Amino acid sequence: MDDCIIIGAGPAGLTAAIYLARYHLSIRLFDCGTSRAAWIPCTHNHAGYPDGIAGKELLRRMNAQARKYGALREETRVEHLAKAGDRFTVGTAAGTFTARTVLLATGVVNRRPDALADELHDAALARGLIRYCPVCDGYEVTDRKVAVIGTGKHGTAEALFLRGFTADLTLVSPHGDHDLDAECSARLDDAGIARVPGPCGGFAIEGDRLAFDTAERRMSFESVYPALGTHVRSELAGLAGAGTSEDGCIAVDDHLETSVPGLFAAGDVVIGLDQISHAMGQAGVAATTIRNHLARERPLRRQPVSRT
């Protein structure tokens, strides 16, 4: 039986693995290989990398650091999680495992336009023609021609946030006419943000822009932000009986423990800023709380080392 099983190997899961391994605890790290951080072509707002770092390279370095202290990432999908007594049972395609504690770092998945094929999406993402996080990379679209695909309050909020970086903004509805109340329309008008009805289709990379058809005409932009929400991967928390918010995020206390004792969560799957730095900070808090939680059950004491 392990002291802790970590589910998810993005920045949160890997940070927790580094902490817990350095606390001399026995851990397992399960990963299905779909961390959203791997989508990032180059992040420039992660402290310590003044020239930026690719998401995959950051994950590679964090994996190597965790491995240095004995934490090994196992590529398998976790399919079941339950608590029986004071122990957790974790079911995977590779078998069933037990642990004294579990940390969920399963993250979220951004929703993309239905008509955008995977291959084209990945190529556009790599070139910065599609972006998902204006907090992360709004600076990179300063004074560029930008579209936000979305509508309603969520689309309005994303467009208004990006208005701090560029004046050339268009809000495009993903399906038919916009769904905007009077307040959203007034705020968009005040900010000078154009609106175009959907649907969106016929996506293609044309030169240095991403082009697509709308209900009115074909348009092209230097960057496009889909503001279509996310799927929160909190299903395992539900299986274990943990509480979630209305939008599916895992509810935690100040120390990142869920409503199920011994079950913790960190990163984007928890209500928060959806930022690498924030996820890593949460993971440090969660890992230290896990260590202290386990020490209360059984004191953690190193055996004397013979020195000759």
pLDDT in tens, 247-294: 899 999 999 999 999 999 999 999 877 899 999 999 999 999 999 999
What is the model's pTM?
0.93
DSSP secondary structure, 178-227, as one string: ----HHHHHHHHHHT-EEE----EEEEEETTEEEEE-SS-EEEESEEEE-
Name the residue with higher pLDDT: 29 or 39.
29
Determine what percent of the chain falls in helix, strand and coil, rounding each to the nearest 5.
Answer: 30, 25, 40
Average pLDDT over residues 214-223: 97
CA angle, residues 49, 55, 60, in degrees to nearest 5: 90
pLDDT in tens, 72-103: 889 999 999 999 898 999 999 889 999 999 99
Reported as a pLDDT band with limits 50, 70 and 90, residue 299 is: confident
Reported as a pLDDT band with limits 50, 70 and 90, residue 308 is: low
> Percent of the chain scored above 70 by pLDDT?
99
CB neighbourhood size of 15 (10 A): 26
pLDDT in tens, 41-61: 999 999 999 999 999 999 999
Alpha carbons 230 and 9: distance in angstroms, whole number: 19
Reported as a pLDDT band with limits 50, 70 and 90, residue 304 is: confident
User: Which domains are delineated in the chain?
Assistant: 2-109+230-297 (3.50.50.60), 112-226 (3.50.50.60)
Among 131, 195, 123, 206, CA closest to 160: 195
Beta bridge partners of 265: 104
Spatial contact of 250 and 104, defined as CB atoms under 8 Å apart: yes
The answer on pLDDT for 224 being more than 70 is yes
Write down the mean pLDDT value for the chain. 94
User: Which are the contacts of 224, defined by CB distance < 8 A and separation ≥ 6?
Assistant: 124, 129, 130, 131, 146, 147, 148, 149, 210, 212
